[in-house]
Chains A and B, each alone.
Chain A
Amino acid sequence: MSTDRLVSRRQAMAGLLGLGGAAALTACGFGSGATPLPSPPLRPTGAAAGPVRALSLRARPVEVDLGGQVVTTWAYGDSVPGKAFRATAGDRVQVAFANELPAPTSVHWHGLRVRNDMDGVPGVTTPEVAPGGSFDFDFVVPDPGTYWFHPHSGLQLDRGLYAPFVVDDPAEPGDYDAEWVLVLDDWTDGVGPSPEQILASLQQTGGNGGMGGMDMGGMGGMAMGGMAMGGMDGGDVTYPLYLVNGRVPDDPDVLRAKPGLRIRLRLINAGADTIFHVALAGHELTVTHTDGFPVVPVRTQVLRIGMGERYDAIVTLQDGVFPLVVEPVGKSGLARAVVRTGGGQVPPSSVRPEELAAFPLTVDVLTAAPGAALTRRDPDTVQDLRLAGSMASYVWTINGRTYDETEPLTIREGEAGRLKIRNATMMPHPVHVHGHTFQVGQAGGTGPRKDTVLVPAMGSVDVDLIADNPGAWMVHCHNAYHAEAGMMTRLEYAA
């Protein structure tokens, strides 16, 4: 299959075509702005809500073709990833959600600073949606950028339940001709063991201690070949497949375009347990945004993206056929998509472009673009977020506690808060804060705005946020298995 996913910027802006536009338009018929505004009022944006955009979404069991391999999984709509949602910053978005799964589920709008009761965390913000049930979401999308959505229920994220949510900027400078959304994933559902079986096995075999976890007798279909033990430790699970836009490397998603065009890549790591390195053979990436917010553009050959993170990058297309290769860090295998601007054979999927050998770009070197930084101020409250855990018992903690016994972080509305994230483990953890976009480093400093930051093994990251969106918000590791094994807490607004 070769899908032409090229969306011109003008078309995308107008919502006329492409992944997002299609989704945005098909869904109408629900809501016309007549729905009374639910209480509490739409937050956190101070601006009046823009036009209403009515969307629909259903979670359901489906058969999807990953490229010669048909699997049964759970997905949004008919495809993996689900069709992208698209809106313009300031829009009021209404999503009629239907749960056609045999299990309760939820929808979390990752990175979007929606009001608390729309955040999609069962038991904390939004009711769980029972099988056969429905829920009407209604929120304002305050910030432009690349976001996504997924369940916040157990390990459902590690099935096919994920889709992009692109929020266009009405003032987009638009220094590009077209865009390409690329969703990266680690895949087991319907191929290897289920996510729940994997977690059970981690909890069981982990208890052996020592090298017991290497004895994978109990892991059924888990791929074990060629596992990289050296270098960076990327995750706990070796997956049978890695996907870009729901496709295996031998039957990839293809971007067809003319050479010389400037393409905006919107990269989303929807993986549950895998950090990826991304490179486009024969090209340099100019990174322009992370987690929706602009950075001073920097060039790189390879980019590191943790679970839940997003990066936007501009590439100027060369003439020929080029694999966009996505390499799981510390694991074997790869995923890829292909750019075709001219004739020639697609290189075999075993080809590893030389760009992947370069030092990967990480968050350290990124600078918030002018206007993207928070206002400079000293924190009113400083709180520790100590990440710890052990593979032996497969228990992961924040500040020494698993989620069921967590002592939430607290903040008052209007305060500036600093989280000092200290990673006392030998693997990196992507830490995600709901409802806020923090600034890495300090408020008013040079670090980028983000909602998910990869904290290096044994390393530390400070982030500052402004408490402008009251409620109870999840703060957690975006490794789905770590979160499920306890590595979550909440940030709660004190009265």
Chain B
Amino acid sequence: MRTRAPAVTAASLALAAVLAGCGSSGGTSGSGSMPGMDHSGGSMSSSPSQATGSAADIAFAQLMIPHHQQAVEMADLALANASSAEVKALATQIKAAQDPEIATMSGWLTMWGAPMQMDSAAGHDMGGMAMSGMMSDQDMADLEAAQGTEFDQMWLQMMIAHHQGAAQMANDVLASTDDEQVKMLAEAIVAGQTAEIEMMKSLFAS
């Protein structure tokens, strides 16, 4: 038995706060439907794709950028170490999809005047959203050390979990966002990564 660190990280708290606050507003249009979110730094968006971002949209970009960066890092490892041509092709495809999405989301944060990283002091304890499917440093080190078909299997399994996390984060923001750009990108992430999950599952099983 042992004691663990406080159960909730600041970053996840912040996203939890914003998503929980927005969840009930999913069906409503217009602005001002997210009380208590003023701390986020962005003012409410009253029309799609404007120069301000909602708290949920900002949090989505702030968390999805590092999530994508890790996917690109894993794709680079596959391009160097994978033994299967299918895995290498998939890695190329993932990099080609996610690199531009990182640029897009960074552009939003700049446009919205929001920081690239979440303000870790901004959390309220509203429970559990997280950057889902992220690999730990240990996972990444294990992957880097693996070779041959063992690498391929490990990479597929990690990337499936990673993609499932991204699809969940995208689905979560779709439930609340009023911003057409955010909506389009989140839908593209869900569709693209879900299709890639199918492909990776079939490669894993073969």
Inter-chain contact A229/B2, CB cutoff 8 Å? yes
* B3 in contact with A391 (CB, 8 Å): yes
**A214-B164 Cα distance, complex, nearest whole Å:** 35
The digit string for B147-178, where 1 denotes a CB below 8 A from any CB of A, is 00010011011101100110010011000000
Whether A386 is near chain B, meaning CB under 8 Å from some CB there, is yes
Give chain A residues whose Cβ lies under 8 Å from the Cβ of B168. Answer: 460, 462
A422 and B129 within 8 A (CB): yes
Q: What's the least CB distance linking B75 to chain A, in Å?
A: 18
Q: How far is the CB of B125 from chain A (nearest CB, A)?
A: 8
User: Residue B130 at the A interface, CB < 8 A?
Assistant: yes
Contact B161 A458 (CB under 8 A): no
Q: Does B205 lie at the interface of the complex (its beta carbon under 8 Å from any beta carbon of A)?
A: yes
Q: State whether B160 touches A227 (Cβ < 8 A).
A: no
Is B198 part of the binding interface, using a Cβ–Cβ cutoff of 8 Å?
A: yes
The contact string, 1 if C-beta is below 8 Å from chain B, for chain A 70-98, is: 00000000000000000000000000000
B204 within 8 A of A: yes
In the complex, which residues of chain B have a beta carbon less than 8 angstroms from the beta carbon of A25?
none
By a CB distance below 8 angstroms, the chain A residues around B131 are 458
- Return the contact of A236 from the options B1, B23, B200 (Cβ within 8 A): B1
Q: Does B28 contact A (CB under 8 A)?
A: no
**Which residues 227-258 of A sit at the B interface, judged by CB distance below 8 A?**
227, 229-231, 233, 236-238
Name the contact of A210 in the complex, choosing from B1, B3, B156, B160 (C-beta under 8 A).
Answer: B3
A423 and B204 CA atoms in complex are apart in Å by: 27
Asked if B8 and A425 sit within 8 Å, CB to CB, the answer is yes
- Residue A356 lies at the interface, judged by CB distance under 8 Å to chain B: no
What does DSSP make chain B's interface, helix, strand, loop or mixed?
A: helix
* Complex contact B164–A423 (CB within 8 A): no
Cα of A395 to Cα of B165 in the assembled complex, Å? 27
Tally of B interface residues using CB under 8 Å: 42
Known A359-B142, A424-B16; judge A460-B5 contact (CB<8 A).
Answer: no
> In the bound complex, what is the Cα–Cα distance between A184 and B1 (angstroms)?
20
Residue interface mask B1-35, A partner, CB < 8 A = 1: 11111111100100010000001000000000000
User: Chain B interface: which of A33-41, A138-146, A362-370?
Assistant: A362-370
Residues of B within 8 A of A365 (CB): 156-157, 160, 200-201, 204-205
Are B165 and A213 within 8 A (Cβ)?
A: no
Chain B's nearest CB lies how many Å from the CB of A85?
32
Within 8 A of B (CB), among A356-384: 358-359, 361-362, 364-365, 367, 384
Q: Is the CB of B4 within 8 A of A296?
A: no
Q: In the complex, which residue of chain B has the Cβ closest to the Cβ of A358?
A: B150
A459 to B2, CA, bound (A): 21
| Residue A388, interface by CB 8 Å | yes
Given the known interface contacts A227-B2, A231-B138, A399-B127, the answer about A426 and B7 at a Cβ–Cβ threshold of 8 Å is yes
Residues of A within 8 A of B6 (CB): 390
Least CB distance, B114 to chain A, in whole angstroms: 23
Q: Which residues of chain A have C-beta atoms less than 8 A from B23's C-beta?
A: 384
Bound complex: CA of A441 vs CA of B197, how far in Å? 12
- Complex contact A213–B127 (CB within 8 A): no
Q: How far is B138's CA from A103's CA once the two chains are assembled, in angstroms?
A: 46
CB distance from A238 to the nearest CB of B (A): 6
CB-CB under 8 A from B197, the residues of chain A are 446
Q: How far is the CA of A338 from the CA of B5 in the complex (A)?
A: 38
Q: Which chain B residues in 100-144 approach chain A with CB under 8 Å?
A: 127-133, 138, 142
20 CB < 8 A contacts A-B: A201-B1, A222-B1, A231-B138, A236-B2, A364-B160, A364-B164, A365-B201, A365-B205, A367-B202, A367-B205, A386-B127, A386-B128, A391-B2, A399-B127, A420-B172, A424-B8, A424-B128, A425-B8, A441-B164, A459-B132
User: Would you list the 4 A-B pairs with minimal beta carbon distance, nearest first?
Assistant: A424-B128, A422-B128, A213-B3, A386-B127
Binding site for B on A (CB under 8 A): 201-202, 205-206, 209-214, 216, 219, 222, 227, 229-231, 233, 236-238, 296-298, 300, 358-359, 361-362, 364-365, 367, 384, 386-392, 399-400, 420, 422-427, 441, 446, 458-460, 462
